[in-house]
Amino acid sequence: MAARVACSLRSEPYKRYLIQFAHDLLDFRLQEIKSIISLLGCQASLRNTDLNNGSPFMEVALTSEEDAKAIMHRTVLSKSMYELWAEGSSISEVNMKLKQLPKGFTEPYTQENSSFRIMVDTFNKKISSSEKIKRIELLTDTESMFKGKIKLSSPEHSFHLLEFYKFDSAPSTEPEKVYFGRWISDGHRSVIKEFHLQTRHFIANTSMDACLSLVMANLAQVKESDLVLDPFVGSGGLLVSSAHYGAYVLGTDIDYMLLHAKARPSRAKQTTRAIDESVRSNLRQYGLESKYIDVLVADASQNHMWREGWRFDAIITDPPYGIREAAAKIACKETADVPTTEGEPHYPQRTQYQLGDIFRDLLNFAAKYLCLGGRLVYWLPIYKPDYSESCIPKHPCMSLESNCEQPLSQHISRRLITMVKIREFQELSDWDEASTKVNSVNSFRNNYFKSMQAVGVLNSDSVLRSEPLTSKQEGL
């Protein structure tokens, strides 16, 4: 199966490359690569895109090695990319195909005055060092094309023999697929460790995992000098990843105490917040302060605060689900349930913000304030037994680009939704707001607590009182 992704005007012949994915966020890997290829404008053809067989390998045809390196410089879910020289169902078949390669293809990398090494890597099976040496000796026999000097540390050319073994009920003894290729580049996974939450200066209860925040920025196709907004900014994790890719970042949040670092600390054994904790300090920590515009204490439901001329290249956000953090908005006198205190009406400052209303307002905001072609990337919590694709909120100005699932428990997951603005915003009287499926989304919180109670994590009293969850109970 092949998938055509992006196009350019170049007419160079394709070269075959092999991507080795990390065994992480399995449902996100293909969509991240597609988004990066589209962002870079590469001419590419993807093959073996069905990764459900457990293989971490996918073939991609590209027109240049520079494109391959550019893709790997962005991806955080891929380990390495190789120029694919041969493939087969056994090492003998691969060795035979290697000997049939034209000299014009292999000689630039196998000459006597060059240095090389061959690495053996197996997936779903461990083999001994002696078995690896036998494979290498088979590839470097007397008739081998490899004439250069062997150098295990920092050679000019690194070649890799990659074996994939299927793992069903028991590990397989024979490989399902064997690949041989020349190493081109590693992925950009080192930045995950650099941005890890354990070393971040300012975090909150719902700070986004570093890897996920970088994936979200890639799905949003964030690039240099973009303007990116997070309307539920929290501690600003999504702003950090967007600024890392060169965007100017802006955020809003209704929680004054959190944004001003006056809320209860989120780290264990930390009793008080440091005086300099802030979203800005996070960007300063990573040398990205020049990309910081501001963070405003504001209600995401009040869209009229933005001037008509504002346009964002991307909106990336993780709305509150009402589990670990309350979902609230400013109460309106006209619609608020106004209690009477000592004979006088009391107007509450905040009121509950239903999940369905959050997503309806978010899509409306994106349709109005995104640039044409701009992207909205957000998380949608899902109760699996009730889920179907029709549950995903829709808007006539927005087109669904991708939908990736992150399982959290047997019954609960969340989906990372990517949407693209395809037409300019209009006040559409014929838009059926029920298309946001507010009833289905609004029931998520109740279903979440029911599922937790069913497995004994919560008791009925804590559900009724909506007590704060302990660290072991946090599902979202």
User: In one letter, which amino acid is 197?
Assistant: L
Please enumerate in sequence order all residues whose Cβ is within 8 A of that of 190, keeping only pairs 6 or more positions apart, or say none. Answer: none
- HEC states along 163-225? EECCECCCECCCCCEEEEEEEEEECCCHHHHHCCHHHCCCCCCCCCCHHHHHHHHHHCCCCCC
Cα separation of 46 and 169, whole Å? 30
Residues recorded for the chain: 476
Cα separation of 472 and 186, whole Å? 35
Q: Are 158 and 119 in contact (CB under 8 A)?
A: yes
Q: Are 391 and 382 in contact (CB under 8 A)?
A: yes
Q: What is the predicted pLDDT for the residue at 332?
A: 64
- The segments of the chain whose pLDDT lies below 50 read 1-2, 4, 6-11, 347, 434-438, 459-475
> What DSSP designation does 297 have?
E
Cα angle: 82, vertex 86, 88; to 5 degrees: 120
199 closest CA partner among 122, 329, 286: 286
Which residue is it, tokens 């299927």?
166
Q: What is the CB-side half-sphere exposure of residue 236 using CA atoms within 13 A?
A: 35
Cα separation of 66 and 261, whole Å? 44
Surface-to-core class of residue 426, CB atoms within 10 Å of its CB (0-12 exposed, 13-18 middle, 19+ buried): exposed
Cα separation of 178 and 182, whole Å? 14
Q: What digits encode the pLDDT tens for the residues 366-383?
A: 999 999 999 999 999 999
Q: What is the predicted pLDDT for the residue at 167?
A: 80
Q: What is the predicted pLDDT for the residue at 333?
A: 56
Cα separation of 272 and 193, whole Å? 26
pTM of the model: 0.88
Q: Are 141 and 21 in contact (CB under 8 A)?
A: no
Written as one string, the DSSP assignment of 308-373 is: TT--EEEEEE----SSSS--EEEPPTTTS---EETTEE---SEEE--HHHHHHHHHHHHHHHEEEE
Q: What is the predicted pLDDT for the residue at 306?
A: 84
223 closest CA partner among 205, 204, 203, 241: 241
